[in-house]
Structure 1
Protein backbone atom coordinates (compact mmCIF):
# COMPACT_ATOMS: atom_id res chain seq x y z
CA UNK A 1 0.00 0.00 0.00
CA UNK A 2 2.77 2.40 0.85
CA UNK A 3 4.28 1.97 -2.61
CA UNK A 4 0.95 2.93 -4.20
CA UNK A 5 0.65 5.99 -1.96
CA UNK A 6 4.20 7.07 -2.81
CA UNK A 7 3.43 6.71 -6.53
CA UNK A 8 0.26 8.78 -6.14
CA UNK A 9 2.15 11.45 -4.22
CA UNK A 10 4.87 11.59 -6.91
CA UNK A 11 2.15 11.84 -9.54
CA UNK A 12 0.63 14.73 -7.56
CA UNK A 13 3.99 16.52 -7.52
CA UNK A 14 4.01 16.32 -11.31
CA UNK A 15 0.42 17.59 -11.38
CA UNK A 16 1.48 20.47 -9.12
CA UNK A 17 4.26 21.42 -11.55
CA UNK A 18 1.84 21.20 -14.50
CA UNK A 19 -0.65 23.36 -12.61
CA UNK A 20 2.02 25.95 -11.83
CA UNK A 21 3.09 26.03 -15.48
CA UNK A 22 -0.50 26.41 -16.66
CA UNK A 23 -1.08 29.30 -14.26
CA UNK A 24 2.15 30.98 -15.37
CA UNK A 25 1.21 30.65 -19.05
CA UNK A 26 -2.30 31.93 -18.35
CA UNK A 27 -0.93 34.92 -16.43
CA UNK A 28 1.56 35.70 -19.20
CA UNK A 29 -1.12 35.48 -21.89
CA UNK A 30 -3.48 37.74 -19.94
CA UNK A 31 -0.66 40.21 -19.20
CA UNK A 32 0.33 40.31 -22.85
CA UNK A 33 -3.31 40.77 -23.88
CA UNK A 34 -3.66 43.79 -21.57
CA UNK A 35 -0.32 45.18 -22.76
CA UNK A 36 -1.27 44.61 -26.38
CA UNK A 37 -4.69 46.22 -25.99
CA UNK A 38 -3.69 49.32 -24.04
CA UNK A 39 -0.09 49.97 -25.12
CA UNK A 40 0.08 48.60 -28.65
CA UNK A 41 -3.59 49.45 -29.37
CA UNK A 42 -4.04 46.03 -30.96
CA UNK A 43 -6.05 43.22 -29.41
CA UNK A 44 -5.16 39.54 -29.70
CA UNK A 45 -8.07 37.41 -30.91
CA UNK A 46 -6.95 34.16 -29.31
CA UNK A 47 -5.72 35.24 -25.87
CA UNK A 48 -9.04 35.25 -24.01
CA UNK A 49 -9.96 31.87 -25.44
CA UNK A 50 -6.61 30.34 -24.49
CA UNK A 51 -6.82 31.81 -20.97
CA UNK A 52 -10.33 30.37 -20.57
CA UNK A 53 -9.25 26.87 -21.62
CA UNK A 54 -6.19 27.00 -19.39
CA UNK A 55 -8.43 28.08 -16.50
CA UNK A 56 -10.72 25.10 -17.06
CA UNK A 57 -7.76 22.70 -17.05
CA UNK A 58 -6.33 24.43 -13.97
CA UNK A 59 -9.59 24.03 -12.06
CA UNK A 60 -9.75 20.29 -12.73
CA UNK A 61 -6.07 19.70 -11.92
CA UNK A 62 -6.27 21.92 -8.85
CA UNK A 63 -9.37 20.08 -7.65
CA UNK A 64 -7.54 16.77 -7.89
CA UNK A 65 -4.68 18.17 -5.79
CA UNK A 66 -7.12 19.69 -3.29
CA UNK A 67 -8.80 16.31 -2.82
CA UNK A 68 -5.50 14.67 -1.91
CA UNK A 69 -4.52 17.45 0.48
CA UNK A 70 -8.03 17.50 2.03
CA UNK A 71 -8.33 21.19 1.18
CA UNK A 72 -11.75 21.20 -0.47
CA UNK A 73 -14.42 23.28 1.20
CA UNK A 74 -16.68 21.24 3.46
CA UNK A 75 -19.05 21.68 6.37
CA UNK A 76 -17.49 19.94 9.35
CA UNK A 77 -20.10 20.68 12.04
CA UNK A 78 -21.24 17.08 12.36
CA UNK A 79 -17.73 15.68 11.89
CA UNK A 80 -16.49 17.66 14.90
CA UNK A 81 -18.86 15.70 17.13
CA UNK A 82 -17.56 12.31 15.95
CA UNK A 83 -14.72 10.14 17.14
CA UNK A 84 -11.63 9.74 14.95
CA UNK A 85 -12.73 6.30 13.71
CA UNK A 86 -16.23 7.56 12.92
CA UNK A 87 -14.71 10.48 10.98
CA UNK A 88 -12.51 8.08 9.03
CA UNK A 89 -15.51 5.86 8.22
CA UNK A 90 -17.56 8.88 7.13
CA UNK A 91 -14.66 10.02 4.92
CA UNK A 92 -14.49 6.59 3.27
CA UNK A 93 -18.22 6.71 2.53
CA UNK A 94 -18.07 10.29 1.22
CA UNK A 95 -15.10 9.60 -1.04
CA UNK A 96 -16.67 6.39 -2.36
CA UNK A 97 -19.72 8.44 -3.34
CA UNK A 98 -17.37 10.96 -4.96
CA UNK A 99 -15.72 8.19 -6.97
CA UNK A 100 -19.12 7.04 -8.28
CA UNK A 101 -19.98 10.62 -9.30
CA UNK A 102 -16.56 11.13 -10.90
CA UNK A 103 -16.84 7.83 -12.79
CA UNK A 104 -20.10 9.07 -14.31
CA UNK A 105 -18.34 12.35 -15.13
CA UNK A 106 -15.50 10.43 -16.84
CA UNK A 107 -17.99 8.42 -18.88
CA UNK A 108 -20.03 11.40 -20.05
CA UNK A 109 -16.88 13.52 -20.40
CA UNK A 110 -15.35 11.11 -22.92
CA UNK A 111 -18.69 10.96 -24.71
CA UNK A 112 -18.75 14.75 -24.90
CA UNK A 113 -15.16 14.85 -26.16
CA UNK A 114 -16.15 12.44 -28.91
CA UNK A 115 -19.07 14.66 -29.87
CA UNK A 116 -16.96 17.83 -30.25
CA UNK A 117 -13.82 16.49 -31.94
CA UNK A 118 -14.79 17.96 -35.31
CA UNK A 119 -15.87 21.29 -33.82
CA UNK A 120 -13.17 23.96 -33.72
CA UNK A 121 -12.76 26.87 -31.37
CA UNK A 122 -13.63 30.26 -32.88
CA UNK A 123 -10.38 32.16 -32.30
CA UNK A 124 -7.61 29.56 -32.10
CA UNK A 125 -9.17 27.15 -34.59
CA UNK A 126 -8.23 24.06 -32.55
CA UNK A 127 -10.43 21.08 -31.85
CA UNK A 128 -12.83 21.69 -28.98
CA UNK A 129 -11.88 18.21 -27.78
CA UNK A 130 -8.80 19.80 -26.17
CA UNK A 131 -10.97 22.05 -24.02
CA UNK A 132 -13.56 19.39 -23.18
CA UNK A 133 -10.90 16.75 -22.40
CA UNK A 134 -10.30 18.53 -19.09
CA UNK A 135 -13.52 16.99 -17.77
CA UNK A 136 -12.70 13.27 -18.10
CA UNK A 137 -8.95 13.67 -17.57
CA UNK A 138 -9.39 15.86 -14.50
CA UNK A 139 -12.03 13.49 -13.15
CA UNK A 140 -9.63 10.56 -13.52
CA UNK A 141 -7.02 12.53 -11.54
CA UNK A 142 -9.67 13.20 -8.87
CA UNK A 143 -10.60 9.50 -8.73
CA UNK A 144 -6.95 8.60 -8.16
CA UNK A 145 -6.74 11.07 -5.29
CA UNK A 146 -10.09 9.98 -3.83
CA UNK A 147 -8.70 6.44 -3.78
CA UNK A 148 -5.61 7.72 -1.95
CA UNK A 149 -7.78 9.44 0.67
CA UNK A 150 -9.82 6.26 1.08
CA UNK A 151 -6.65 4.23 1.58
CA UNK A 152 -5.44 6.75 4.18
CA UNK A 153 -8.74 6.53 6.05
CA UNK A 154 -8.88 2.74 5.78
CA UNK A 155 -5.42 2.58 7.34
CA UNK A 156 -6.66 4.91 10.07
CA UNK A 157 -9.65 2.62 10.68
CA UNK A 158 -7.32 -0.37 11.00
CA UNK A 159 -5.20 1.56 13.47
CA UNK A 160 -2.30 1.95 11.04
CA UNK A 161 -0.87 5.11 9.55
CA UNK A 162 -2.28 8.48 10.54
CA UNK A 163 -3.16 11.31 8.19
Structure 2
Protein backbone atom coordinates (compact mmCIF):
# COMPACT_ATOMS: atom_id res chain seq x y z
CA UNK A 1 0.00 0.00 0.00
CA UNK A 2 2.82 2.39 0.85
CA UNK A 3 4.40 1.69 -2.54
CA UNK A 4 1.13 2.55 -4.34
CA UNK A 5 0.84 5.71 -2.29
CA UNK A 6 4.40 6.75 -3.21
CA UNK A 7 3.70 6.07 -6.90
CA UNK A 8 0.48 8.08 -6.71
CA UNK A 9 2.18 11.03 -4.99
CA UNK A 10 5.10 10.98 -7.42
CA UNK A 11 2.78 10.83 -10.44
CA UNK A 12 0.78 13.73 -9.04
CA UNK A 13 3.97 15.69 -8.42
CA UNK A 14 5.30 15.02 -11.91
CA UNK A 15 2.00 16.16 -13.41
CA UNK A 16 2.37 19.48 -11.59
CA UNK A 17 6.02 19.77 -12.67
CA UNK A 18 5.17 19.08 -16.33
CA UNK A 19 2.33 21.59 -16.31
CA UNK A 20 4.50 24.18 -14.57
CA UNK A 21 7.30 23.54 -17.06
CA UNK A 22 5.02 23.85 -20.08
CA UNK A 23 3.73 27.31 -19.08
CA UNK A 24 7.04 29.23 -19.31
CA UNK A 25 8.02 27.30 -22.44
CA UNK A 26 4.85 28.36 -24.22
CA UNK A 27 4.99 31.95 -22.99
CA UNK A 28 8.75 32.17 -23.63
CA UNK A 29 8.35 30.83 -27.17
CA UNK A 30 5.60 33.36 -27.77
CA UNK A 31 7.78 36.23 -26.55
CA UNK A 32 10.73 35.03 -28.60
CA UNK A 33 8.67 34.69 -31.75
CA UNK A 34 7.09 38.09 -31.23
CA UNK A 35 10.45 39.85 -30.99
CA UNK A 36 12.34 37.76 -33.55
CA UNK A 37 9.68 37.46 -36.25
CA UNK A 38 7.08 40.06 -35.38
CA UNK A 39 4.44 37.32 -35.12
CA UNK A 40 3.14 35.68 -31.99
CA UNK A 41 1.27 32.51 -31.23
CA UNK A 42 -2.41 33.38 -31.01
CA UNK A 43 -3.06 30.56 -28.58
CA UNK A 44 -0.13 30.98 -26.17
CA UNK A 45 -1.82 33.15 -23.53
CA UNK A 46 -4.92 31.00 -23.54
CA UNK A 47 -2.90 27.78 -23.23
CA UNK A 48 -0.85 29.20 -20.34
CA UNK A 49 -4.03 30.32 -18.57
CA UNK A 50 -5.65 26.90 -18.87
CA UNK A 51 -2.45 25.15 -17.78
CA UNK A 52 -2.40 27.37 -14.69
CA UNK A 53 -5.97 26.33 -13.89
CA UNK A 54 -5.02 22.67 -14.24
CA UNK A 55 -1.88 23.15 -12.16
CA UNK A 56 -3.88 24.74 -9.36
CA UNK A 57 -6.39 21.91 -9.15
CA UNK A 58 -3.88 19.08 -9.69
CA UNK A 59 -1.49 20.53 -7.09
CA UNK A 60 -4.11 21.22 -4.42
CA UNK A 61 -4.01 17.63 -3.16
CA UNK A 62 -0.24 17.75 -2.73
CA UNK A 63 -0.58 20.97 -0.75
CA UNK A 64 -3.29 19.37 1.43
CA UNK A 65 -1.08 16.33 1.99
CA UNK A 66 1.73 18.48 3.39
CA UNK A 67 -0.51 20.78 5.45
CA UNK A 68 0.25 23.74 3.21
CA UNK A 69 -3.31 25.09 3.03
CA UNK A 70 -4.34 27.92 5.33
CA UNK A 71 -5.50 26.72 8.73
CA UNK A 72 -6.81 28.52 11.78
CA UNK A 73 -6.00 26.38 14.80
CA UNK A 74 -7.19 28.53 17.72
CA UNK A 75 -10.18 26.30 18.51
CA UNK A 76 -8.18 23.11 18.16
CA UNK A 77 -5.39 24.45 20.36
CA UNK A 78 -7.89 25.40 23.08
CA UNK A 79 -9.34 21.88 23.27
CA UNK A 80 -7.92 18.98 25.29
CA UNK A 81 -6.35 16.02 23.38
CA UNK A 82 -9.55 13.98 22.81
CA UNK A 83 -11.44 17.11 21.74
CA UNK A 84 -8.72 17.92 19.23
CA UNK A 85 -9.02 14.45 17.70
CA UNK A 86 -12.79 14.76 17.53
CA UNK A 87 -12.53 18.17 15.88
CA UNK A 88 -9.97 16.92 13.35
CA UNK A 89 -12.18 13.90 12.58
CA UNK A 90 -15.17 16.17 12.01
CA UNK A 91 -13.04 18.40 9.80
CA UNK A 92 -12.00 15.41 7.67
CA UNK A 93 -15.65 14.35 7.27
CA UNK A 94 -16.75 17.88 6.31
CA UNK A 95 -13.91 18.13 3.79
CA UNK A 96 -14.78 14.74 2.27
CA UNK A 97 -18.41 15.79 1.83
CA UNK A 98 -17.40 19.16 0.37
CA UNK A 99 -14.84 17.63 -2.01
CA UNK A 100 -17.38 15.02 -3.14
CA UNK A 101 -19.94 17.75 -3.76
CA UNK A 102 -17.41 19.73 -5.79
CA UNK A 103 -16.58 16.65 -7.90
CA UNK A 104 -20.28 16.35 -8.69
CA UNK A 105 -20.66 20.06 -9.47
CA UNK A 106 -17.47 20.01 -11.55
CA UNK A 107 -18.65 17.06 -13.64
CA UNK A 108 -22.00 18.73 -14.23
CA UNK A 109 -20.40 22.03 -15.21
CA UNK A 110 -17.80 20.40 -17.47
CA UNK A 111 -20.54 18.46 -19.27
CA UNK A 112 -22.51 21.66 -19.82
CA UNK A 113 -19.48 23.26 -21.43
CA UNK A 114 -18.60 20.37 -23.74
CA UNK A 115 -19.97 22.00 -26.88
CA UNK A 116 -18.50 25.48 -26.36
CA UNK A 117 -15.02 25.93 -27.84
CA UNK A 118 -12.17 28.02 -26.46
CA UNK A 119 -11.53 31.12 -28.59
CA UNK A 120 -7.95 30.51 -29.69
CA UNK A 121 -7.24 26.80 -29.18
CA UNK A 122 -10.67 25.73 -30.47
CA UNK A 123 -10.91 22.84 -27.99
CA UNK A 124 -14.06 22.14 -25.99
CA UNK A 125 -14.22 23.93 -22.66
CA UNK A 126 -14.93 20.47 -21.25
CA UNK A 127 -11.15 19.93 -21.12
CA UNK A 128 -10.62 23.17 -19.22
CA UNK A 129 -13.42 22.65 -16.73
CA UNK A 130 -12.51 18.98 -16.20
CA UNK A 131 -9.70 20.31 -13.99
CA UNK A 132 -12.23 20.92 -11.23
CA UNK A 133 -13.61 17.39 -10.77
CA UNK A 134 -10.18 15.86 -11.38
CA UNK A 135 -8.58 18.16 -8.82
CA UNK A 136 -11.24 17.55 -6.18
CA UNK A 137 -11.07 13.79 -6.79
CA UNK A 138 -7.32 14.00 -6.19
CA UNK A 139 -8.04 16.00 -3.02
CA UNK A 140 -10.30 13.17 -1.83
CA UNK A 141 -7.59 10.57 -2.41
CA UNK A 142 -4.91 12.64 -0.70
CA UNK A 143 -7.22 13.40 2.23
CA UNK A 144 -8.06 9.73 2.69
CA UNK A 145 -4.36 8.88 2.67
CA UNK A 146 -3.41 11.46 5.31
CA UNK A 147 -6.60 11.39 7.40
CA UNK A 148 -5.69 8.63 9.87
CA UNK A 149 -2.42 10.26 10.92
CA UNK A 150 -3.96 13.75 10.84
CA UNK A 151 -6.87 12.76 13.09
CA UNK A 152 -4.64 10.84 15.54
CA UNK A 153 -1.70 13.22 15.82
CA UNK A 154 -2.46 16.39 13.85
CA UNK A 155 0.47 15.75 11.50
CA UNK A 156 0.64 15.50 7.74
CA UNK A 157 2.53 13.20 5.44
CA UNK A 158 5.38 14.84 3.64
CA UNK A 159 5.26 14.09 -0.10
CA UNK A 160 9.04 14.48 -0.23
CA UNK A 161 9.62 11.63 2.23
CA UNK A 162 10.62 8.44 0.45
CA UNK A 163 9.62 6.18 3.32
CA UNK A 164 6.16 7.70 3.82
CA UNK A 165 7.40 9.34 7.00
CA UNK A 166 5.73 12.18 8.80
CA UNK A 167 6.55 15.75 9.49
CA UNK A 168 4.80 18.26 11.67
CA UNK A 169 2.08 20.09 9.78
CA UNK A 170 0.53 23.48 10.39
CA UNK A 171 -1.67 21.98 13.09
CA UNK A 172 1.05 19.83 14.68
TM-score by length of 1: 0.85
2:150 to 124, 148, 153: 153
Cross-structure match for 1:68: 65
Unaligned runs of 5+ in 2: 155-164, 168-172
The answer on 1:92 being equivalent to 2:89 is: yes
Cross-structure match for 1:25: 22
State the distance in 2 between where 1:10 and 1:92 align. 26
Cross-structure match for 2:31: 34
Cross-structure match for 1:51: 48
C-alpha RMSD over aligned residues = 2.2
Cross-structure match for 1:124: 121
Q: Deviations over 1:87-133 (max 9, x none)?
A: 33322211211111111111111111111111111101111111010
State the distance in 2 between where 1:8 and 1:146 align. 12
Cross-structure match for 2:161: none
Q: Is the 8 A contact 2:99 2:137 kept in 1?
A: yes
Give runs of ≥4 in structure 1 deviating > 6 Å.
Answer: none
More helix as a share of residues: 1
